[in-house]
Structure 1
Amino acid sequence: MKNKYQDLVRDLSERELLVHLYVTQVILLSISLILGLIIYKDLWFIGSLFIWNDTSIFSIGVLAGILVVFMDLFFMKVLPKSFYDDGGLNEKIFQNRNILHIAIIALFVAFSEELLFRGIIQTHVGLIGASIIFAVIHYRYLFNWYLFANIIILSFLIGYIFYLTDNLAVTFVMHFIVDFLLGSFIMIKNKKSQNKGSDFS
């Protein structure tokens, strides 16, 4: 199963992977809107979930996002490379993107996933149920025990922060920072390796 997944990632072009990413997020967003209409009877519920004048956005969301990224980068350096092997998916998506495109991807992913998993599912199913569903949805990590454990811990952390703050703006900002900084790291790392290669050519 793992080999089939890696073959699939390898065979897909960067453009195809990006299309798949955006389609997946559109599906998650559509599910959120449908469930929102069913549960809240209108779409104004989205605005009520985001409180932008909350200082927790910076004191918790921003700081927690940066801390997660620093910890991730630290463990990338000290742990075997195989621990972070996701079949090359993240590298293929981010390595040739520019900063603006990475920001757009991170914004879209953070909004659609936080709205569904925290804003709708967690508020009606609870922290544990929402965190498990969030982890399982990231099925590409099921083939790597370390990455799967990572995503479960991150999911519980984000969910707990939403439980504490009751503000989706906090977890949205945190999620965005994690995805944006890690995506940027992959892009910068790829550019450095390309420059090194050109120096030796």
Structure 2
Amino acid sequence: MAEEVLLFSTWFSIYGRRVEMALKLKGIEYKFIEEDLTNKSPSLLKYNPVHKKVPVLVHNGKPVAESLVILEYIDETWKNHPILPKHPYERANTRFWAKFIDEKCWPAILQACWGKDQKEREKAAEELSKLLQFLENELKGKRFFGGETIGLLDIAANTIGYWLGVFEEAAGVSELLTREKFPKLFNWVNEWLSVSAIKENLPPRDKHVAFMRLNGQGFWNDYNASK
């Protein structure tokens, strides 16, 4: 029996795009179901009744929610092109830094771009610079965080690899990730964007920038409201 893989998400979702990257890396066929987050479908509410958010992966009728959880599920279900390291310590380290990106870097990016005033944005930009330095150090001269191939942490870092640049342009703020300050991260972004499974699963930049100019403040407000 053929496997059924459904992905409920939106075209602009950072987290949904992560799942698509992993599916494409592993060559898994799936059906993308675009959700209207202002009018969520009954299927989304059925498959993710707790958070009522995207993305949700549905594999043969069984739903999995939360992007990092979904990435691990994908890796454990389809063994080709592993995205998590084999060694338990390295796996734990990958999970740590993925969580660091979501819980530390993401809010700092939002606040640096759409904080309530210039002072708040500048303070957040300083904080983000410190956070990015941790990731700069973590690369340790490797091509990717996963070594010579894209791994889970590289996928989780799409926040840095693509969305940061879109948000900078949309918000009209100065560059937060430069070659001068973060040469390893800067090179990582270029390597990351050269991988077909990555670049083919990014939103059209012009469309995305225009969307964020209209909605970026709402993203920051929604984040604050959810804390």
Q: TM-score, normalised by structure 1?
A: 0.28
Greater helix percent: which structure?
1
Larger RCO (alpha carbons 8 Å, 6+ apart)? 1
Greater strand percent: which structure?
2
Q: TM-score, normalised by structure 2?
A: 0.26
